[in-house]
């Protein structure tokens, strides 16, 4: 069973396989929740990196 959703380009193959497994066993709703959480964590990590880079630059 292959799902058709657009994974963000930063996602690893392992993360995508994990999402497919979740969808197979728990359904698309659960997969969407997990995907949204992965995206949120990625965005938080990016924001932290950007803030650290700005602080180092402003020094």
Q: How high is the pLDDT of residue 4?
A: 60
| pLDDT tens for each residue of 11-58 | 999 999 999 899 999 998 999 999 999 999 999 999 999 999 999 988
pTM for this prediction: 0.71
Buried b (16+ CB within 10 A) or exposed e, 27-59: eeeebeebbeebeeeeeeeeeeeeeeeeeeeee
Can you give the residue ranges of every domain in the chain? 29-59
Taking 50 as the threshold, does the pLDDT of residue 1 lie above it? Answer: no
């Amino acid at each position: 069973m292959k799902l058709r959703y657009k994974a963000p380009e930063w996602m690893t193959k392992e993360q995508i396989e994990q999402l497919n497994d979740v969808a197979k066993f728990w359904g698309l709703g659960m997969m969407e929740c997990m995907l949204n959480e992965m995206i949120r964590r990625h965005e938080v990590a990016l924001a932290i990196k950007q803030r650290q880079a700005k602080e180092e630059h402003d020094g």
